[in-house]
């Protein structure tokens, strides 16, 4: 994640809880699990674009990036990540209602239906509660989702918001040809035209010394919006439902230019690793949430054969 330097391969500096683990908070950016049911071949692909999640993966551990982007190894769904997906869906759908009806009870009433939809669209999440025949753990988990939704109302007032966009897919190509993409939870546009980018996190806010890392994703989105619309967003806003905090940052053009340079350096490091096949593991405390320890040399495992051609001399 972004730190004070612009090096390409910095380890993330974040205080991590299970709910903050890399895949827990960005439902649209979860690692591939196309083969989680054991059906259909996984196809190895060379990286073609960069999202905030995958950029963070590479900064955390290049080998993790390889497993997710190139090998596309399946990952098990987690309760925290799935709860994050559910809560995001509820907050998005609440804005379908007229402003005056966007209340906490209304939002909580959306949870069962959105949980049904999630199980239909991602059948693998059903296995989370297979060993819970009485439904006690599921009830507790749904209760935690309710608490997160309820806390949102202490941080923002949806009756006074009219988002310009929700769950907005964005994609922009830099002059270098690097394609950036991602999904922004919410975009608010003031009558004056000022843009605010909002992201919901179901984990806890980082300590102040780690805030810069948390803002990396937001600056990434701001860069994409700037490239797409030639407008520097007025405000970046992270809403932490786990701890009830709101972190804001008002970027200037120099911030976006800095993050662009950082991403170009990161992409060059990814390109070199792709061509050489040299993907180093970088063990940190985040390994505790990595699904790939069985394939990781740091844990006595062996990566699968590298599926892409290696350039001679690399
Ligand atoms: S276990 Fe740790 S070092 Fe190994 S691939 Fe996962 S994140 Fe990287």
Q: Residue 151: give its domain's CATH number.
A: 3.90.320.10
pLDDT of residue 33: 40
Instruction: Work out how many domains the chain is built from and give that number.
Output: 1
Does 31 have pLDDT greater than 70? no
Q: How far is the CA of 54 from the centre of ligand 1 (A)?
A: 14
| 67 inside domain | yes
Tell which residue, 141, 162, 146, has the closest CA to residue 105. Answer: 146
Classify 218 as helix, strand or coil: helix
Give the pLDDT band (50/70/90) at residue 23: very low
CA angle (164, 165, 169) in 5-degree steps: 150
43-79 pLDDT per residue, tens:
677 899 999 999 999 999 999 999 999 999 999 999 9
Residue 142, domain member (yes or no): yes
What distance in angstroms lies between residue 53's CA and the mean position of ligand 1's atoms? 16
Mean of the per-residue pLDDT values for the chain?
88
Domain-embedded: residue 167: yes
User: Does 292 sit in the ligand 1 pocket, CB within 6 Å?
Assistant: yes
In the block, residue with structure tokens 């805030």:
211
Q: Is residue 191 part of a domain?
A: yes
Ligand 1 atom closest to Cα of residue 283: 3
Residue nearest to atom 2 of ligand 1 (CA): 287
Using DSSP's 3-state secondary structure scheme, residue 186 falls into strand
Of the listed ranges 2-16, 19-33, 135-149, 209-223, the least confidently predicted one is 2-16
In a domain, 4, yes or no: no
Task: Report CA-CA distances (Å) from 208 to 81, 120, 224, 246, 276.
Answer: 24, 39, 25, 12, 38
Does position 25 have pLDDT exceeding 60, yes or no? no
pLDDT at 46: 86
| Residue 209 pLDDT | 87
pLDDT in tens, 251-284: 999 999 999 999 999 999 999 999 999 999 999 9
CA atoms within 13 A on the CB side of 130: 8
Structure confidence at residue 224 (pLDDT) = 98
SS3 199: strand
Pocket test for ligand 1, best of 31, 54, 282, 303 (most atoms within 8 A of CB): 282
Q: How far is the CA of 247 from the centre of ligand 1 (A)?
A: 29
Nearest to 199 by CA among 175, 235, 147: 235
Predicted local confidence at residue 313, as pLDDT? 62
Is 6 part of a structural domain of the chain? Answer: no
* Per-residue model confidence (pLDDT) at position 42: 65
8 A C-beta contact, residue 222 and residue 230: no
Q: Is residue 45 part of a domain?
A: yes
pLDDT of residue 40: 54
CA of 60 to the centre of ligand 1 (A): 9
pLDDT per residue as tens digits for the range 285-311: 999 999 999 999 999 999 999 999 998
Cα–Cα distances (Å) from 257 to 6, 8, 52, in that order, read 11, 15, 16
- Asked if 68 and 57 touch (Cβ cutoff 8 Å), the reply is yes
Evaluate if residue 227 carries a pLDDT over 70. Answer: yes
Does some domain include residue 3?
A: no
pLDDT at 214: 85
299 Cα: distance to centroid of ligand 1 (angstroms)? 8
Q: Copy the structure tokens of residue 102.
A: 């966007």
Distance of CA 12 to the CA centre of its chain: 14
Q: Average pLDDT in the 176-195 region? A: 96
Residue range(s) defining the domain that contains residue 239: 13-314
Section 212-224 average pLDDT: 94
For ligand 1, whether the C-beta of 218 sits within 6 Å is: no
* Count of CA atoms in the C-beta half-sphere (13 A) of 138: 16
**Substitution site in 292, 300, 303 for ligand 1 pocket (most atoms within 8 Å of beta carbon):** 292
Sheet holding 195-201, edge to edge: 165-173, 179-189, 195-201, 235-240, 245-249
Pocket of ligand 1 contains residue 290 by CB under 6 Å: yes
Q: What are phi and psi of 167, to 5 degrees?
A: 45, 55
Ligand 1 centroid–CA 281 distance in Å is 6
> Could you tell me the CA-to-CA distances from 275 to 37, 116, 278, 306, 310 in Å, in that order?
30, 43, 8, 11, 5
């Amino acid at each position: 994640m972004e730190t004070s330097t612009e090096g390409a391969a910095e380890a993330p500096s974040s205080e991590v809880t299970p709910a903050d683990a890399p895949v827990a908070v960005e439902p649209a950016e979860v690692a591939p699990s196309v083969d989680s049911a054991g059906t259909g071949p996984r196809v190895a692909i060379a990286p073609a674009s960069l999202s905030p999640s995958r950029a963070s993966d590479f900064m955390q551990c290049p080998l993790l990036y390889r497993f997710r982007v190139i090998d596309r190894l399946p990952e098990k769904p987690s309760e925290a990540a799935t709860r994050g997906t559910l809560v995001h869906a509820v907050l998005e759908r609440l804005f379908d209602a007229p402003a005056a009806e966007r209340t906490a009870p209304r939002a909580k009433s959306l949870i069962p239906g959105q949980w049904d939809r999630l199980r239909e669209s991602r059948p693998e999440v059903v296995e989370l509660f297979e060993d819970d025949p009485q439904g006690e753990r599921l009830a507790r988990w749904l209760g935690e989702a309710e608490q997160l939704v309820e806390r949102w109302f202490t941080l923002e007032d949806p009756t006074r918001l009219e988002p310009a966009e929700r769950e907005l897919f964005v994609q922009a190509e830099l002059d270098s040809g690097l394609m950036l993409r991602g999904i922004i939870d919410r975009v608010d546009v003031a009558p004056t035209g000022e843009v605010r980018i909002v992201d919901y996190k179901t984990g806890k806010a980082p300590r102040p010394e780690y805030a810069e890392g948390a803002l990396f994703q937001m600056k990434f989105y701001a860069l994409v919006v700037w490239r797409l619309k030639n407008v520097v967003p007025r405000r970046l806003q992270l809403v932490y439902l786990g701890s009830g905090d709101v972190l804001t940052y008002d970027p200037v053009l120099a911030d976006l230019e800095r993050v662009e340079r950082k991403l170009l350096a990161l992409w060059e490091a990814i390109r070199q690793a792709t061509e050489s096949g040299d993907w180093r593991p970088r063990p940190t405390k985040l390994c505790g949430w990595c699904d790939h320890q069985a394939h990781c040399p740091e844990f006595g495992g062996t990566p699968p054969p590298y599926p892409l051609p290696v350039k001679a001399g690399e």
